[in-house]
Every structure is written in structure tokens, then in C-alpha cells.
């Protein structure tokens, strides 16, 4: 309640009309603040209780304890009658968001990068064993299918009343044996047996509740077994593999071949693997693959150089154009200034992917407006070098309004006295811009230039919607002429091998992160030098 006690102190200071936000905030420092706090904490606790309940039903004991302690801790911080917890009141929300939106995603990316998570390796080993068992069942030659009715004997034992769909003969199946039923004791319709003497038919909700029991109900017939498939049919199936739980291996029944865990998330017999496999840690295997696989290594440098060129030129051109427009439109007393400014911001307001698709149409080699209007035949999208020009131009067009707005703001923040002083000293307008305005502007804009560079480094949409990485390279590798690292990663992980190689994609994104972080770090240290200069 420290905020409450602080209110009178604020009131004593003579400020006629504080700004809107402080006024709104001060309205919360009395009773409404306490009520708001209690309600918010109550909702948080309710959410925590519910989460604990869900976690308890799924037996995640450790999570329950951690959650309970964390919630109690938060309650204590905000309710305790001491000022010692004051810094924590501000730190806790920030920390929670930091953990939720930064630390956990990074943790998972690293975890996936060190695993084999990809097509064929998405479930747990336990589930994989279960699925292999199910997949190993095969109808034997001349295997029969049955119409099935679930029933109980007078003693309550569960049985299957079966009618062979081909021979139309009746049987009763238990977990021990299949025995014929005399047709005279059975009433049947098109959906099989509806009643049988000595048996009570199980129907509706009672039948549905038996689902899990019936999943494991097998009527043995020689090596095969009749298994319920739907609520009214059963099929004769024979296993082709046997799972030896003690040794943890599958044995193929036809030839005794042993499929053992190969350490890479699959049961294998030589090169022969059983599907599905499971997710498991594989250490740095994905990074090693990136370093060694010629498919990855061969185009890497070319793609990296183009990515840096693309990002750098996009930023440079859009900044230059934005700044030029900002200076031009900064003239005082210019008519229709607002109209010009509004028009210039439009490219920024259009959804990016839409604009990109429109540009792709405008730049079409044969039918695009641009080539037709100017009566030229430039292969904008089908020549490797022209496609690169197109990508940079369109991307620059998309981000120019941003730098226009930013530069305009920054220009207005530069005090007029400085340029005036320069003018008095006899500087030409260009000299004034070069020596006074631009350096001061750069102090404000440089961090944004770096951020924009980092963004364009991973600007997947700009490439994918415009050229899809095309045109293809003559020697046909995965990377097209305009593929940047991130679109190349996408193709490598999702359009190669068996598709969906999320582990490889994660490993690659960590590498991309390292590259961007390195470039940004160098750039930022340079910016600091700039600031000292100013």
C-alpha cells in the first residue's frame, strides 16, 4: 500500500494540471487501486488454481509445486505490508514476460535443434512402440471380417457375437476361443446379430464406455486374432512383428530379424527402419550436418552474401529515399503538406503480402504493367540479377514510409539554433546538412537502421511472395537466385528430404541468430562512438 501513502505528498507539490497519464494513474492510488489489485490478483490465483487442477489430473507433480510456490510468492509480494517488496512489484511482471516470450522460446529452439524432431520422429518412444504394434497387424490370406455385436453372458462375462460377412455363419468369441453359434438360437438383421439366447446385448452408452476394453479384446484364431474395429465390425488380423519388452526390440515373425533401437530414434535392422520412430536427443548432429552436407554447404556463402546485400541495400535505399522526402516536405508554409505526407505513408499501411503479390504482377516479364507501359522487355523476375534488383526495389518501396516518418520526427527534434549558427558562419546548405543535420540525425536514427537491417535479414515475406526464391539457379540446388538465409532454411527444412525437418530448421535459425547478433553488436558499438562525437 505504499502508493496510497505517497498520494498526499504528490498533492502538496504545486503542479496546476499534470499530464493525462499521471492523472489517470493517480486515480488508481486510492481505494479503486486496492480493488483493482485485489481483483487482478484474484483472477491470477483463479487461473493458477485451475492450472494446478489440470496439472494434478495429469500427475505433473513438480509443476504443481512450482506453480503453487510461484503464485504464493506473487501474492505475498503484492499483499505483504512491507516496503521491502517494492522493487519486486515492478520486477515480477517484466520477468514473467521475459521468461514467457524470450527464455522459453529460446530454450525450446535449442532443445529442438539438438533433437531429431522431423518427419517420422514426432512422438514419444512409448507411443511409437504402440503404433508399430498396431501397424504390424495384417489380415492373413483369406482373412475374414465380421459383423459384431457386443454382449454379456448370464455370468456377466464380455463376449463378441460375430457373423462372418461372406459365409454369413454365426460365432461367439471370447478372449479364449471362437465357437460356432447355432442359427436357431440367434436373431439377426442386416447389421448382424440383434439378439441371442443366453446373451444380453450391450448397446449405446454402455457399449461406448467399453471402448478401451474392446481395444485389447482379441479372439484367438490360430496365429491370428479377431479384433473389434468399429462399434459393429471386427476383423481377423495377424501380427507380423513381436515386441520383446525385456530386450526392448521388435522381432519380425517371418524371418526372426531383430529390430533394435539404433540410438537415432528408430528401431532398425541394418538400414531397414520401422515406422514410426520417436523424438530423441541427437546432440550436435544437426549442426554437423549443416557443416558437412554439400547440399547445405555449397550454396551457403552465396546465399549469405546475397542476404547481407539485400538487407543492407534495402535499408540504405529506403533510408536515403525517406530522408530525401522528409527534407523536401519539411519546408515551412508548403501547401497541401498533410496531403503529401498522407499519400507517402500509404505503402506502409497496405498489408505487406498483398502489396508484394501486386508487385509480382506488375513486374511480370511478359504481361506486367511496367514492361508494357515503358515498352521494354526487362526480365524482372526471370533473370537472376534483375530479380535481385526487383527484390531490393520493392522492399525499399515498402520501408521508405517508415524512414520518412522517422526522419521527419528526428529532423524536427534538431534545434534550429544549430543550423542558424552554421549559416551565420557562412556554411552552404549542403555543408550544413553534411556537417550539422546529418550527424545529429544519425544519432537518433542509427539504432533504427540496425533494427531494420536485422529485420530485413530475416524478411521471409519480401522474398517468398515476390519471387519464391526464384529464378532457379542453373546448376539447380535448393537455393534459388534470390533466396535469403531464412527462405533457404525454409526450403531446406520443409521442401527437401521427407519434409518437416524442424530440428534442422531450428539449428539453422540459431546460426542465423548468431550472424545477426554479431553484425548488430558491431554496428551498435559503432553507434556508441557516434553518440560520443555528438
Partner 1 sequence: MTRKRTAAVVVVAIAAILAAVAGSTKAAVAATPVVTIWTDQNRKAAVTQVATAWANARGATVNIVVKDFGSIRDNLGTVAASDAPDVIVGAHDWTGQLAANGLVEPIYLTPAVKKQFPAYTLNAFSYGLAVKKLYGVPTQIENIGLVVDTGLVKIPTSFAMLEQEALAYKKKASGNLGIAVQQGSGGDAYHMYPFFSGLGGYIFGTNSAGNLDPSNIGVANPKFLKNAPLIDKWNKEGLINAAVDSSTAQNAFLKKQAAFWITGPWNSQLLSSSGLKFKVIQMPKIAYPSVPFLGVQGFMVTKYASAHGVDQLAQDLVSNYISTPSAQLALATANGRYPANIAAGKQVNDPVLAQFGKAGTGGVPMPNIPQMSSVWSDLGAAWVKSTKGAGATKARVAFTAAARSIADKIG
For partner 1, the binding residue among 109, 131, 174, 419 (CB under 8 A) is 131
φ, ψ for residue 469 (rounded to 5)? 85, -15
Is 249 or 443 the residue whose CB approaches partner 1 more closely?
249
| Binding range to partner 1, per CB under 8 A, among 107-115, 426-434, 494-502, 519-527 | 494-502
Q: Is 225 in the site for partner 1 (CB under 8 A)?
A: no
Judged by CB under 8 A, the chain residues 392 through 431 that form the site for partner 1 are none
Q: Are 164 and 146 in contact (CB under 8 A)?
A: yes
Site for partner 1 in 230-289 (CB under 8 A): 230-233, 235, 237, 240, 273-276
Choosing from 26, 364, 520, 527, the residue that interacts with partner 1 (CB under 8 A) is 364
d(CA 461, CA 310): 13
- Distance set, CA 514 to CA 161, 206, 286, 304, 507 (Å): 65, 59, 16, 13, 11
156 class by beta-carbon count within 10 Å (0-12 exposed, 13-18 middle, 19+ buried): exposed
Does residue number 491 form part of the binding site for partner 1 (CB under 8 A)? yes
Where in 302-361 is the site for partner 1 (CB under 8 A)?
360-361
Tell me whether residue 12 or residue 166 sits nearer to partner 1 (CB atom).
166
SS3 201: strand
The residue among 112 and 510 lying less far from partner 1, judged by its C-beta, is: 112
User: Whole-angstrom Cα distance, residue 487 to residue 480?
Assistant: 10
Residue of the chain from 77, 123, 201, 312 that contacts partner 1 (CB under 8 A): 123
Name the residue among 321, 306, 320 with its Cα closest to residue 463.
Answer: 306
In order, the DSSP letters of 276-307 are --B--B-TTHHHHHHHH-HHHHHHHHHHHHHH
- Residue 206 binds partner 1 (CB under 8 A): no
Ordered DSSP codes for 26-62: HHTSSHHHHHHHHHHHHHHHHHHHHHHHHHHHTT-HH
Helices 438-457 & 384-413, crossing angle to 10 degrees?
A: 140
Give whichever of 159 and 326 is closer to partner 1, judged by the CB atom. Answer: 159
Q: Which C-beta is closer to partner 1: that of 255 or that of 532? A: 255
Query: Residue 91 or 191: which CB sits closer to partner 1?
Result: 191
- Applying the rule CB under 8 A, the residues between 366 and 395 that interact with partner 1 are 366-367, 379, 381-383, 387
Whole-angstrom Cα distance, residue 201 to residue 160? 9
Residue 276: asked if its preceding bond is cis (omega within 30°), the reply is yes
Cβ proximity to partner 1: between 21 and 373 the closer is: 373
Element (H, E) at 218: none
Q: Report the C-alpha gap between 237 and 174 in whole angstroms.
A: 16
Among 212, 246, 331, 335, binds partner 1 (CB under 8 A): 212
Q: Which stretch binds partner 1 (CB under 8 A): 242-250, 304-312, 405-413, 476-484?
A: 476-484
Nearer to partner 1, 70 or 209 (CB): 209
Q: Is 228 in the site for partner 1 (CB under 8 A)?
A: yes
Told to check if 119 binds partner 1 by CB under 8 A, we report yes
Chain position carrying cell 476383423: 235
CB of 169 to partner 1, least distance (A): 16
Q: Restricting to residues 75-114, which ones interact with partner 1 according to CB under 8 A? A: 75, 79, 81
Distance from C-alpha of 118 to C-alpha of 151, rounded to nearest angstrom: 44
Nearest distance from C-beta of residue 130 to partner 1, angstroms: 8
Taking CB under 8 A as the criterion, the residue among 347, 494, 511, 519 binding partner 1 is 494
Amino acid at each position: 500500500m505504499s502508493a496510497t501513502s505517497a498520494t498526499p505528498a504528490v498533492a502538496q507539490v504545486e503542479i496546476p494540471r499534470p499530464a493525462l497519464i499521471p492523472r489517470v494513474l493517480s486515480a488508481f492510488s486510492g481505494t479503486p487501486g486496492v480493488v483493482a489489485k485485489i481483483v487482478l490478483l484474484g483472477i491470477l490465483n483463479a487461473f493458477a488454481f485451475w492450472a494446478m487442477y489440470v496439472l494434478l489430473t495429469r500427475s505433473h507433480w513438480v509443476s504443481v509445486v512450482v506453480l503453487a510456490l510461484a503464485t504464493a510468492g506473487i501474492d505475498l509480494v503484492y499483499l505483504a505490508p512491507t516496503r521491502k517488496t517494492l522493487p519486486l512489484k515492478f520486477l515480477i511482471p517484466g520477468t514473467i514476460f521475459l521468461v514467457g516470450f524470450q527464455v522459453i522460446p529460446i530454450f525450446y529452439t535449442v532443445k529442438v535443434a539438438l533433437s531429431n524432431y522431423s518427419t517420422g520422429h514426432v512422438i514419444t518412444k512409448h507411443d511409437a512402440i504402440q503404433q508399430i504394434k498396431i501397424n504390424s497387424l495384417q489380415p492373413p490370406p483369406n482373412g475374414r471380417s465380421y459383423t459384431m455385436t457386443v454382449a454379456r453372458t448370464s455370468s456377466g462375462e464380455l463376449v463378441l457375437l460375430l457373423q462372418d460377412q461372406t459365409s454369413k455363419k454365426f460365432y461367439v468369441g471370447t478372449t479364449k476361443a471362437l465357437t460356432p453359434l447355432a442359427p436357431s438360437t440367434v436373431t439377426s438383421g442386416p447389421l448382424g446379430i440383434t439378439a441371442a439366447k443366453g446373451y444380453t446385448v450391450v448397446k449405446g452408452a454402455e457399449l461406448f464406455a467399453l471402448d478401451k476394453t474392446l481395444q485389447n479384446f482379441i479372439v484367438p484364431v490360430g496365429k491370428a486374432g479377431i479384433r473389434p474395429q468399429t462399434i459393429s465390425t471386427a476383423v481377423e488380423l495377424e501380427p507380423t512383428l513381436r515386441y520383446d519388452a525385456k530386450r526392448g526390440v521388435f522381432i519380425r515373425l517371418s524371418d526372426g530379424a531383430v529390430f533394435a533401437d539404433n540410438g537415432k530414434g528408430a528401431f532398425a535392422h541394418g538400414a531397414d527402419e520401422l515406422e514410426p520412430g520417436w523424438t530423441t536427443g541427437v546432440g550436435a548432429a544437426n549442426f554437423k550436418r549443416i557443416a558437412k552436407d554439400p547440399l547445405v554447404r555449397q550454396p551457403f556463402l552465396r546465399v549469405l552474401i546475397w542476404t547481407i546485400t539485400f538487407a543492407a541495400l534495402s535499408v540504405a535505399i529506403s533510408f536515403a529515399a525517406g530522408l530525401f522526402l522528409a527534407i523536401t516536405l519539411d519546408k515551412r508554409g508548403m501547401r497541401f503538406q498533410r496531403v503529401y505526407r498522407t499519400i507517402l505513408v500509404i505503402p506502409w499501411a497496405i498489408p505487406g503480402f498483398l502489396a508484394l503479390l501486386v508487385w509480382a504482377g506488375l513486374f511480370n516479364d511478359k504481361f506486367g504493367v511496367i514492361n508494357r507501359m515503358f515498352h521494354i522487355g526487362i526480365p524482372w523476375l526471370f533473370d537472376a540479377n534483375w530479380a535481385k534488383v526487383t527484390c531490393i526495389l520493392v522492399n525499399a518501396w515498402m520501408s521508405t514510409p517508415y524512414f520518412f516518418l522517422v526522419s521527419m520526427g528526428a529532423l524536427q527534434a534538431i534545434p534550429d539554433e544549430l543550423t542558424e549558427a552554421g549559416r551565420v558562419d557562412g556554411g552552404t546548405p549542403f555543408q550544413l546538412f553534411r556537417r550539422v543535420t546529418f550527424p545529429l540525425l544519425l544519432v537518433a536514427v542509427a539504432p533504427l537502421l540496425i533494427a531494420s537491417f536485422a529485420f530485413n535479414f530475416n524478411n521471409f515475406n519480401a522474398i517468398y511472395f515476390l519471387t519464391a526464391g526464384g529464378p532457379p539457379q542453373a546448376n539447380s540446388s535448393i537455393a534459388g537466385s534470390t533466396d535469403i538465409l531464412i527462405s533457404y532454411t525454409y526450403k531446406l527444412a520443409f521442401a527437401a528430404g521427407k519434409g518437416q525437418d524442424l530440428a534442422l530448421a531450428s539449428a539453422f535459425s540459431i546460426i542465423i541468430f548468431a550472424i545477426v547478433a554479431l553484425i548488430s553488436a558491431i554496428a551498435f558499438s559503432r553507434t556508441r562512438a557516434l553518440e560520443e562525437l555528438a
